[in-house]
Amino acid sequence: MLRQIQQIGHRGFLLADKLGNVVFGSANNPLYHLGTLSFFFFYILLITGIYVYIFFETGVTTSYTSVEELTQQWYLGGVMRSLHRYASDAMLATMILHLSRGFFSNRYRGARWFSWSTGVPMLVMVFILGLTGYWLVWDQLGQFVAVRTMEMIDWLPIIAEPTARNFLTNTSITDLFFRLLVVTHLGLGLFLLGGMLLHVNRLNEAKINPPRVLAIGSFLALVVLSLVKPALSHAPADLTVSPTILNLDWFYMFFYPLMDIWPMSYVWAFVGGGTLLLFLLPWLPPQKREHVAEVYLDDCSGCNLCVQDCPYEAIRLEPRSDGHPRFSREAMVIADHCVSCGICVGSCPFSSPNRHAEKLTTGIDMPNRNIQHLRDNTLQAIEEISGDIKILVYGCDHAVKMAKLDIPGTAALSLPCTGALPPSFIDYAIGHGADGVMLTGCRKGDCFHRPGNFWVEERLAGSRKPQLKRSIDRRRLMVSWAAISDKKELMVDIETFRRQLSELNSQEAQASAGETSPAPGR
C-alpha cells in the first residue's frame, strides 16, 4: 500500500517536472531546487525580519501601532513587511514539497534517515515561527491564534492552571509576556538556521543557494506579490470581543478550524500523531540493509577521488594500515553513511576492465555487484546482441527499467547509479563489438543519488577524473537522461542513435574501401 502511494506521488512529480522543464528549462526548474529555495527564502526572512524588528515596539499596546506605522511607510516598510509574510509562506511551501518529493521518490530511508529526521523538526520550527509572528502583530488574527493555541496547550495534562484564562481580559496580557514572545521568535529562528546547516551536514558539496536566475525570479515574484496584494493587519486585538471575520493564512493555520468541529483530543492526534508518524517514517517498516562499499587495499592508492565523488560523505582518507611503501593514505568507508550507490566505483582509477588479471579487482567496490561482474555482463550482453548495429545501454535502477527495454539490436545493463560506471567501460564495450554505447538514468537535476548524472557528464567532458579517453569517437556515444516514465522518449533516442551509427559505419566502410582500392591508371 505504501509503495503504491509512493509510485502515484512520484509519477505526479515527474509529470510536474516535465512541465517545469518546458517552462523554465531543467537548469532552473524550481522543482529541482526546492531545498536551495528554502534556504533562499530564509535569507529573505532574515533580512526583512531585521528591518521590521528595528521599527517594532514590543508591548501589548505598542505592537499593533508600530506594525501599522511600518506598513504605512511608503518607501520601504510596507514592502518589507509583505515580503516577510510571503517569504515565510514560500519557505513553508518549498519545505513541504521538498519533504514530499523525498517521500514519494523513496529517498528518505536507510542511510538517508539523517536528513529526513533533521528535516521534520525544522518543519515544526517553521510552523511555530510563523504562528508566533502572527501573534506578535496582536491584531484579531493574532488574538485568534493566541487563544486557540492556549486552548490546545490546556488540553495537555502538564499545566495545573489553564493558560487560556490569561486571555479573558485585555489587562491580563502584560508587556513582559510580549518580550518573552519576541525572544522566542528570534531565538527559534537561530535554532532553525542551525538545524538547516545540520540538515546538509552529511551531504558532499551540498548546495544551499539556488541558481542565480531562479533566485532573482523568485525574489521579483515576491516583490510583485507584495505590491499587488500587500500584507495588512486585521482590527486591533480586543479580548472582550470574539473575532468573526478572519483571513486565515492556510499555510500555517490549516488545522485551527478543526477545533470547531473535532474534540481537542482528535486535533492533537492529527497534529501530534501526524508529526510523530512523519519522524518515524524511515523505519516504518525497517529497510533491508544493502551491501556497502568495501575498500581493497591492494588496489587503493589513496588518491582521494572516491572521497570527492561520494554524495553522502561516506568515505574518508585515513593513514595507511598495511605499511605500503609508496602510498601513505587509504580510503575508509563509513558504513552508516553509505547508501550503496556505487559512485565511488566509477571514480576509482583502478576500475578498468582492460586490466589483464584472472580476477578483476579495484580499489573500492560493491561486494554484490562488483567490477568483475560488470565486465562479464558487458561481454555477455554484447555477444547476445543480434543485428548489423549493436548498441549497449548502461542505465540505473531508479530510471527506465533496463530489463523492460526490449529493443532488437540492443542490450541493456543496470547499475545502482549511472555514476557507478567507470568511463573505461565505454572504450571497452566499443572495442569488444558494440557499435555504440548509450548512457541513461534519472533526469538531469533529479538524480536519485544527487550528483550522479552530473559526475557522468563531467567525466565524459574531461573535467572530472577519471576521464573518458580523448581517442574515443564521441559519435559512438550518446547520453539520454530519462526518468522511469520516459521510456518512449528513450526508445526514440535509441532509434535515432541507431540511424546515426548506421550512417557512421557506412562512411567508415566507404573510406576504408577508398584507401584499399588500386590507384587510377595502374
> Is residue 310 within 8 Å of residue 296, measured between CB atoms?
no
Averaged pLDDT for residues 238-244: 86
Question: β-pairing, 410-415 with 364-365?
Answer: unpaired
Mean pLDDT of 344-369: 90
**Each residue's pLDDT tens digit, 316-331:** 999 999 888 889 999 9
> What is the pLDDT, as a whole number, of residue 240?
84
Q: Please give the pLDDT value at position 367.
A: 92
More confident residue, 510 or 213: 213
Average pLDDT of span 433-440: 96
Name the grid cell of 147.
487563544
Provide the b/e sequence for 155-192 (b: ≥16 CB within 10 Å): eeeeeeeeebebbeeeeebeeeebeebeeebeeebeeb
Average pLDDT on 142-154 reads 90
Please state the CATH superfamily assignment of the domain spanning residues 33-283 in this structure. Cytochrome Bc1 Complex; Chain C (1.20.810.10)
In whole angstroms, what is the distance from residue 485 CA to residue 478 CA? 20
Write down the pLDDT at residue 518: 56
pLDDT digits (tens, 9 = 90+) for 72-85: 887 789 999 999 99
Mean pLDDT of 189-205: 93
Is a pLDDT exceeding 80 seen at residue 269? yes
330-334: which pairs have CB atoms within 8 A and are 24 or more residues apart? 330/295, 330/297, 330/300, 330/302, 331/295, 331/300, 331/302, 331/306, 331/307, 331/363, 331/364, 332/295, 333/292, 333/293, 333/294, 333/295, 333/364
Q: What pLDDT score does 522 carry?
A: 31
**pLDDT of 521:** 43
Note the pLDDT of residue 507.
92
Q: DSSP for 272-334? A: HHHHHHHHHGGGSSPPPPPPPPEE-GGG----SHHHHH-TT--EEEEE-SS--SS--EEEEE-
The angle, 0 to 180 degrees and rounded to 10, between the axes of the packed helices 371-384 and 424-431 is 30
**Rg (Cα) of the chain, in Å, rounded?**
29
DSSP state of 465: S
Residues 211, 33: contact at Cβ < 8 Å?
A: yes
Scanning the structure block, which residue is given the C-alpha cell 511607510? 73
What is d(CA 409, CA 430) in angstroms, rounded to the nearest whole number?
A: 15
> Residue 83's pLDDT is what?
96
Q: How confident is the prediction for the chain on average, in pLDDT?
A: 92
286 pLDDT band, cuts 50/70/90, is: confident
* Cβ 412 vs Cβ 393: under 8 Å: yes
493: three-class secondary structure by DSSP: helix
Question: Who's near 246: CB < 8 A, 6+ residues apart?
Answer: 140, 141, 144, 234
Q: What residue spans define the domains of the chain?
A: 33-283, 294-510
What's the pLDDT at 346? Answer: 96
- Whole-number pLDDT of residue 160: 63
pLDDT digits (tens, 9 = 90+) for 340-352: 999 999 999 999 9
Q: Is 241 left (phi over 0), alpha (psi -120 to 50) or beta?
A: beta
Q: Which residue has the cell 584499399?
A: 516
Residue 66 has pLDDT above 50, yes or no: yes
Q: Which helix (H) or strand (E) holds 481?
A: strand 477-481
Residue 168: pLDDT over 70: no
Give mean pLDDT, residues 179-191. 93
Work out the average pLDDT over 10-17: 96
DSSP 8-class letter at 415: E
Determine contact, residues 293/315, Cβ cutoff 8 Å. yes
Please name the residues in contact with 103: beta carbons below 8 A apart, sequence gap of 6 or more: 6, 9, 281
DSSP class of residue 447 equals B
* Mean pLDDT across 402-424: 94
| pTM attached to this predicted model | 0.92
Q: Residue length, the chain?
A: 522
Sign of CA dihedral 368, 369, 375, 376: positive
Longest dimension (CA), the chain: 116
Cis peptide before 466 (omega within 30 of 0): yes
Q: Which amino acid is at 421?
A: L
Give whichever of 39-43, 141-145, 181-185 has the largest mean pLDDT: 39-43
Angle, to 10 degrees, between the axis of helix 63-71 and the axis of helix 113-137?
100
Q: Considering only 282-296, 336-350, 435-449, which range has the smallest mean pLDDT?
A: 282-296
> Given this model, what pLDDT does residue 516 score?
59
